[in-house]
Amino acid sequence: MITADLTNIRIEKNNFSSIKSVDFNQLDFGKYHTDHMYIVDYGDEKWFDARVIPFQNISLSPATASFHYGQTVFEGFKAHRSKTSNEIILFRPEKHWERMNKSMERICMPTLPKDIFMDGVIEMAKMERDWVPTQDGCSLYFRPFVFATDAFIRVKPSDNYYFIVFCSPVGAYFSGELKVKIETDYVRSSEGGIGFAKSGGNYAASLLPAKKAAKNGYQQIMWTDAKEHKYIEETGASNVMFLIDNVLITPSLSSSILDGVTRDSIITIAKDMGYKVEERKVTVDEVINAIKNKTLQEAFGTGTAAVISPISVINYLNVDYKIDAPKENGFSRKVYKTLNDIKYGIIPDPYNWTIRV
Ligand code: COI
């Protein structure tokens, strides 16, 4: 059955929901997808035919440009089930739209108008509301992405694209201890590269070093700068922050570091809590010294998927440096609680970050 709604999104409902096959008490990150997807075409220099259709495979030519040259970007944000009303609460989707457009500009793609992004996201939140988990710490992860669809293997920007949003009910990205290895051989991105863009190639670059680190028991790589391996950049799937002498310290944004939405949210909340925040170059040496002289109170990854993930061990040049678990009333626990309370509608959102559906 095909119907049209007020936002001109064509809607084709899936009459065969797979929701009953999902064990919501055992949500691995990214294992399941919901019943629908939002898809918009680009061609002849315009976006057109916005539609929500049953989740399905896409048929593409083997010559499709994005397979070969990586002209693709993605985003990730979450929706939570309100603890105080019947609403679904989307966390900062507009900020993700803004970042997606910055990534798209860098990868030489046409940008996407805000209403096409937001109308589709809100329509998906309405249609998939039953999929938003009720379990603590779980949410519905939205994965918007854009990729080149020209079937043409000369290296050039594509003339045609798909924008797609699909959703996945998720639990925690990291479970158990988070041990990270400071990477001093491989490089994720260099200045002037595409590190700040959320593009597939950055993640492809991380797979081999991450696999090698995992063999030795480290769940993540902590990337350092490409020139000297002296400055900390981010981890494989998140930004990174340190609390040293009660000061929140995080690498400043650059062309090789992702402008994390959770990073930005934590900095905002920390400042409002009265913490001093330093966004600047952070050397590996100062972090290791702070662990040694016990001025480092906390180290943690921050991201939509990671949320706030405390780091228990940092490995540098084959030495493990242990970090105490965060204290019950410590910085990251307090910020996590505020962030979560906003996301779940437990406290008012003073920042206008959330959208309720
Ligand atoms: C996110 O935090 O949403 C990310 O995109 C990280 C991803 C690699 C799972």
- Ligand 1 pocket, 210 CB below 6 A? no
261 & 143 share domain = no
Query: What's the Cα-to-Cα distance from 293 to each of 208, 250, 271, 290, 321, rounded to whole Å?
Result: 33, 19, 26, 5, 12
157 & 214 share domain = no
Classify residue 76: in a domain, yes or no.
Answer: yes
Residue 294 sits at φ, ψ, to 5 deg, of 65, 25
Domain end point (choices 143, 170, 197): 170
Predicted TM-score of the model (pTM): 0.94
The tally of domains found in the chain comes to 2
Q: Show pLDDT as tens, one digit a residue, over the chain (357 residues).
A: 333 344 589 999 999 999 999 999 999 888 999 999 999 999 999 999 999 999 999 999 999 999 999 999 999 999 999 999 999 999 999 999 999 999 999 999 999 999 999 999 999 999 999 999 999 889 999 999 999 999 999 999 999 999 999 999 999 888 878 999 999 999 999 999 999 999 999 999 999 999 999 999 999 999 999 999 999 999 988 999 999 999 999 999 999 999 999 999 999 999 999 999 999 999 999 999 999 999 999 999 999 998 999 999 999 999 999 999 988 899 999 999 999 999 999 999 999 999 999
**Closest C-alpha among 31, 30, 2 to residue 15:** 2
164 & 200 share domain = no
141 & 212 share domain = no
Residue 126 exposure: Cα atoms within 13 Å on the Cβ side = 12
Domain end point (choices 135, 170, 205): 170
Supply the residue whose CA is at minimum distance from atom 5 of ligand 1: 76
Residue 339 exposure: Cα atoms within 13 Å on the Cβ side = 25
Which domain CATH number covers 96? 3.30.470.10
**For residue 1, how far is its CA from the centre of ligand 1 (angstroms)?**
34
**For residue 305, how far is its CA from the centre of ligand 1 (angstroms)?**
5
**Closest C-alpha among 174, 182, 149 to residue 163:** 149
- Ligand 1 pocket, 301 CB below 6 A? no
Pairing verdict, β 2-4 and 10-12: antiparallel
Which atom of ligand 1 is the closest one to the Cα of 75? 5
Token pair of 122 as six digits? 């809100």
249 & 326 share domain = yes
- Ligand 1 pocket, 304 CB below 6 A? yes
Residue 72 · residue 93 · CB < 8 Å: no
Supply the residue whose CA is at minimum distance from atom 7 of ligand 1: 237
Within the chain, what is the greatest distance between any pair of CA atoms? Answer: 66
Domain end point (choices 170, 189, 211): 170
Which domain CATH number covers 254? 3.20.10.10
Ligand 1 pocket mutation pick from 99, 167, 173 by most atoms within 8 angstroms of CB: 173
Token pair of 27 as six digits? 């949500």
- Gyration radius of the chain's alpha carbons: 21
Residue 143 · residue 167 · CB < 8 Å: yes
Classify residue 328: in a domain, yes or no.
Answer: yes
- Ligand 1 pocket, 200 CB below 6 A? no
Classify residue 356: in a domain, yes or no.
Answer: no
**For residue 8, how far is its CA from the centre of ligand 1 (angstroms)?**
30
**For residue 236, how far is its CA from the centre of ligand 1 (angstroms)?**
9
Which atom of ligand 1 is the closest one to the Cα of 173? 9
Supply the residue whose CA is at minimum distance from atom 6 of ligand 1: 237
Residue 260 · residue 231 · CB < 8 Å: no
CA distance 309 to 302: 6
Which atom of ligand 1 is the closest one to the Cα of 303? 2
165 & 28 share domain = yes
Classify residue 349: in a domain, yes or no.
Answer: no
Ligand 1 pocket mutation pick from 73, 139, 238 by most atoms within 8 angstroms of CB: 238
Supply the residue whose CA is at minimum distance from atom 3 of ligand 1: 76
Classify residue 88: in a domain, yes or no.
Answer: yes
Domain that holds residue 208: 178-343
Residue 95 · residue 118 · CB < 8 Å: no
Ligand 1 pocket mutation pick from 73, 234, 304 by most atoms within 8 angstroms of CB: 304
56 & 135 share domain = yes
Which atom of ligand 1 is the closest one to the Cα of 260? 2
CA distance 316 to 61: 45
189 & 265 share domain = yes
**For residue 294, how far is its CA from the centre of ligand 1 (angstroms)?**
31
Beta bridge partners of 36: 54
**For residue 3, how far is its CA from the centre of ligand 1 (angstroms)?**
33
